[in-house]
């Protein structure tokens, strides 16, 4: 009887171990691992990596950039996780992620009208013009904000009457990170209506695999704006 209990206990322990390992494999299978050196090569920073000698630890970098420890079970489905093999790799990628954003001008303005005419021929007509502004995150991709500015007027006198369809989105990502819009976008129209600005904000989120079973998540807040002026 005692031997039967021992066998049953062994089987139970084995099932628990198998269950835990299965959950672990499931979490990894639902995420994509991207090698840090591949990202660094795409960013054309391989030479910088070879010359880089860091005296920091993973934990010191985590504290400096506000990274948090997470379980692999906390990874979002289809998350892209950056696997780093050295402190130098991690530091170079973090520097790139947190470099100053570079404004990218977009000269294209799309025009659309609420009536059959695209011109402002009468006082009651209103034409919406779409303006987009972009911020380049190193070589990783763009964070964009777009808004429709409603123009009214008569003759040679026009003003901005309305701003709608304010939206933020990401494009051209080469690094694995996610963009999430936070808060509610809003707009401010100047007195007289000759200038209006739309505002939006969001968070860039990215994940690291430091070593087997050790994951970290980092975030960066981004504020965006796009302006349309008359005259």
- Return the half-sphere exposure (C-beta side, CA atoms, 13 A cut-off) of residue 36: 22
Runs of H (alpha helix) within 71-134: 87-97
What's the distance, CA 97 to chain centroid? Answer: 10
Using alpha carbons, select from 62, 68, 74, 77 the residue that is nearest to residue 30. 77
Whether 165 has a pLDDT exceeding 60, the answer reads yes
Give percent of the chain above pLDDT 90: 33
Give percent of the chain above pLDDT 70: 74
Helices 87-97 and 58-65, packing angle to 10 deg: 10
pLDDT for 45-78, tens place per residue? 778 778 888 888 999 999 999 999 998 888 887 7
- Return the half-sphere exposure (C-beta side, CA atoms, 13 A cut-off) of residue 202: 20
Q: Looking at the DSSP assignment, which residues form a beta bridge with residue 212?
A: none
Task: Please give the pLDDT value at position 29.
Answer: 52
Strands (E), the chain: 32-35, 68-70, 80-83, 102-104, 110-113, 126-137, 141-154, 157-171, 178-189, 195-211, 214-229
Whether 17 has a pLDDT exceeding 80, the answer reads no
């Amino acid at each position: 009887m005692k031997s039967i209990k021992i066998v049953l206990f062994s089987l139970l322990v084995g099932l628990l171990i198998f269950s835990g390992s299965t959950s672990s494999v499931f979490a990894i299978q639902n995420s994509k691992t991207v090698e840090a050196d591949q990202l660094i090569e795409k960013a054309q920073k391989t030479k910088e990596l070879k010359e880089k000698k860091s005296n920091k630890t993973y934990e010191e970098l985590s504290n400096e950039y506000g990274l948090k420890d997470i379980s692999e079970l906390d990874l979002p489905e289809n998350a892209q996780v950056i696997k780093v093999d050295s402190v130098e790799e991690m530091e170079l990628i973090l520097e790139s992620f947190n470099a100053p954003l570079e404004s990218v001008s977009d000269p294209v303005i799309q025009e659309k009208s609420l009536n059959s005419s695209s011109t402002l021929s009468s006082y009651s007509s209103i034409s919406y013009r779409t303006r987009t502004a972009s911020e380049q995150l190193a070589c990783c991709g763009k964070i964009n904000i777009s808004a429709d500015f409603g123009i009214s007027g008569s003759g040679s006198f026009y003003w901005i009457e309305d701003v709608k369809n304010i939206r933020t989105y990401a494009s051209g990502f080469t690094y694995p990170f996610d963009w999430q819009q936070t808060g509610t976008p809003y707009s401010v129209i100047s007195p007289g209506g000759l200038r209006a600005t739309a505002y939006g904000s969001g968070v860039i989120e990215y994940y690291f695999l430091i070593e087997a079973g050790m994951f970290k998540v980092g975030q960066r807040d981004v504020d965006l704006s796009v302006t349309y002026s008359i005259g």
